[in-house]
A and B are shown apart, each in its own frame.
Chain A
Amino acid sequence: MSFLRFLRGEAHSARAAKERLQLVLVHDRADLPPAKLEALKDDLIAVLSRHIEIDSRAVRIELTQDRDQQRLVADIPLASSRARRRPIG
């Protein structure tokens, strides 16, 4: 059965369950649902953009759990000077 599933490229549903659980629990524990996190990200981009030019579409922000320490991790790429110099179109 697992071999057939492997051939068909199907994942085991327990793994999906665990991954979904871990994600939902990180948000539950921080009392920060995904939509609120998205709003926080927009605010963060707005504030940062006032000071520095960033690649706003590539900004990633997520909650992580490391044992009992919760962390808000932001990855904010700066807009590269080369990209800025490139003519549009």
Chain B
Amino acid sequence: MAARVVTVTSGKGGVGKTTATANIGVALASAGQRVVCIDADIGLRNLDVVMGLENRIVYDLVDIVEGRCKLRQAMIKDKRLPDLHLIPAAQTRDKTAVSPKDMVRLADEIRPDFDWVVIDSPAGIERGFRNAVAPADLVLIVTNPEVSAVRDADRIIGLVEAEEKGPPQLVLNRVKPEMVRRGDMLSTEDVLEVLAIQLIGVVPEDESVLVSSNQGLPAALDPKSRAGKAFRDIARRLNGEEVAFEDLEARDGFFGRLSRLVRPGGAS
């Protein structure tokens, strides 16, 4: 069966695209799927460090496109998950080194031998974004519950729809349930109402994500990480499973419940 190509994009920088790409790739590969992650952020390579594969790069995306190496030579095999691969971005070139057509051709070459291609898009709405989206069968839009990030997500949704890529789906990242509960953060429902888009995952703000990326071990590998669990749920939904969305605002363990009982007026 031919691989499905999923592009992770956002418009705004710093909302967690690269983290989402790495974790979705890891979660799919952990479930026994054959996965290639592609870093399409040429000139600002980062997916390699988040995945912990930075020391093993020989060739990159631009080398493949310009014919200096074979596709397989540029694919770095993950040590922990043999079915996970990375094609890193070039670090010393810019986005114009690759065209949307090149990306479509590359994806078509990968498709027959894999189950998933997960592409990390650069921020912005220019060439790099168009490169990343060109081969996509499905576009995932990452945003945070903030006015600026949601506004940019709306712009990206419009552009993806204009490319006739089918309806994109939303990953709402860095949700702080406590702030939502006290009315100081946009809720999942708020964001969905404003953007009118289908949801594929809600990822709580979680220190384990930074700890993981410090070590180059994506949080999806950590069974105790709440964010990791959210990314594993996204992978399961991509595979067509019906996975209920966790009510983050309700689930905060014994101490959370206790503090709500103790704090006056916090029971609402």
Contact = CB atoms under 8 A, between A and B. Distances in A.
Interface in A6-31: 12-15, 17-18, 20-22, 24-25, 28-29
B183 A68 contact: no
B113 to A, nearest CB: 40
Contacts of A24: 147, 151
A1 B266 contact: yes
Contact of B182 (A12, A21, A25, A68): A12
Given A20-B147, A21-B194, 5 more contacts: A14-B180, A14-B185, A17-B190, A28-B154, A67-B196
Which 10 pairs between the two chains have the least Cβ-Cβ distance?
A12-B183, A3-B265, A13-B184, A14-B183, A18-B190, A17-B147, A2-B265, A21-B147, A17-B186, A25-B154
B261 to A, nearest CB: 13
B144 to A, nearest CB: 11
A2 B266 contact: yes
Interface string A55-69: 000000000000110
Interface string B65-108: 00000000000000000000000000000000000000000000
| Interface range for A | 10 to 19
Contacts of B263: 1
B151 A21 contact: yes
A20 B187 CA distance: 15
Interface in A27-75: 28-29, 67-68
A29 B186 contact: no
A22 B147 CA distance: 10
Interface in B176-233: 180, 182-187, 190, 194, 196
B139 interface: no
B55 interface: no
B264 interface: yes
Contacts of A3: 264-265
A68 B157 CA distance: 13
A88 interface: no
A68 B263 CA distance: 42
Given A24-B147, A29-B154, A18 B266 contact: no
Interface string B158-185: 1000000000000000000000101111
Contact of A15 (B151, B183, B196): B183
A4 interface: yes
B76 to A, nearest CB: 40
